[in-house]
Homo-oligomer: A and B are copies of this chain.
Amino acid sequence: MKYVLTADLGGTSCKLGIFDQELELIEKWRIPTGINSETELLKEIATSFQKQLEKMESNVDECIGIGIGVPGPVNFKDGVVNGAVNLGWKGKVDVKGILSNLMNLEVIVDNDANLAALGEQYKGAGKNYSNVAVLTIGTGVGGGIISNRELMHGFKGASGEVGHLKVDHTEQFQCNCGHRGCLETVASATGIVNLCYDFQKDFPESILSELIDAGTLSSRDVITAAGQKDPLALKVLNKVGYFIALGLSYIASVVNPSHFVIGGGVSDAGHILLDSVISQFPTVTFPPAAEGINIVLAELGNDAGIYGAARLVEQYIK
């Protein structure tokens, strides 16, 4: 028993990885997802694993199990995915059953955001501390909570859905979830653009004005402009930092993690945004829950998901 097989399914490609039993990454590669049905896609993953094992002059008998992350709601106990819309999967797909039949190996399935969180906690910026919360800020805001070194799932798998903490009580922007004021509406890539349009009238001299007028502004433009000390961009990132800090304050009072890890595309804004979160967090958080807390940037980038998948195999498949 030497190897742990891992997969992180996304809308356009699936990242695959093989780890050794010390959870060191040996190989990683990608295959396209796209137009395949769920069964075809899972078959391709199995075939791709088998080819790679052959290359390594190994086979499934030398593997401990498979960990796989799927973008959608997962029943962690039975490994069934229910409505992974970004993959075009309708209804329930028994990922665990299908993949373990194909490979003759034990399979464990979890939500992709949860696995990215677990990867960061174990091998990334969380440095294997017991209690870590991870926020992934990209197109939306996702997350995962690790308590006593285990991923929290809760009653129906909604633990760590921190993008929908209500932080904007002006409720300016509608969220995809149907409510208003969610963290995702003011701290995601879309949220940054939302706030920029909102604040622009006070900053006619901003270098972003042209993009705003043309309606082509992206969050990346705002981040770049903040690097150039554009006052509008700085004000927006400061406000985004406040909303993230407020979201973290809720997580802190509920589960009191020692580390908050912030990842995802928006975290590329790096220290401007991070500093804004760090400076505002103590002003909104119950002091005993803020004491000694570290707020840091994620370290594993797009590999976080396969690291988390490998860790899950280590924890649940003996």
Contact = CB atoms under 8 A, between A and B. Distances in A.
A158 B285 CA distance: 11
A255 B178 contact: no
A156 interface: yes
The A contact surface, by secondary structure, is loop
A254 B250 contact: yes
Interface string A2-28: 000000000000000000000000000
B257 A155 contact: yes
Interface string A142-175: 0001011010111111111110111001000000
Contacts of A159: 254-256
A148 B255 CA distance: 14
A258 interface: yes
A213 B161 CA distance: 46
A289 interface: yes
A215 interface: no
Given A254-B254, A255-B145, A256-B159, A286 B154 contact: no
A236 to B, nearest CB: 19
A118 interface: no
Contacts of A194: none
A256 B157 contact: yes
A293 B160 CA distance: 16
A288 B178 CA distance: 11
A214 interface: no
A223 interface: no
A99 B131 CA distance: 30
23 contacts: A73-B288, A131-B154, A145-B255, A147-B152, A147-B154, A148-B150, A154-B255, A154-B257, A156-B291, A157-B256, A158-B252, A158-B253, A158-B286, A159-B256, A160-B254, A161-B286, A161-B288, A164-B289, A166-B249, A177-B287, A179-B285, A182-B286, A255-B255
Interface of A: 73, 130-131, 145, 147-148, 150, 152-162, 164-166, 169, 177-179, 182, 246, 249-258, 283-289, 291-293
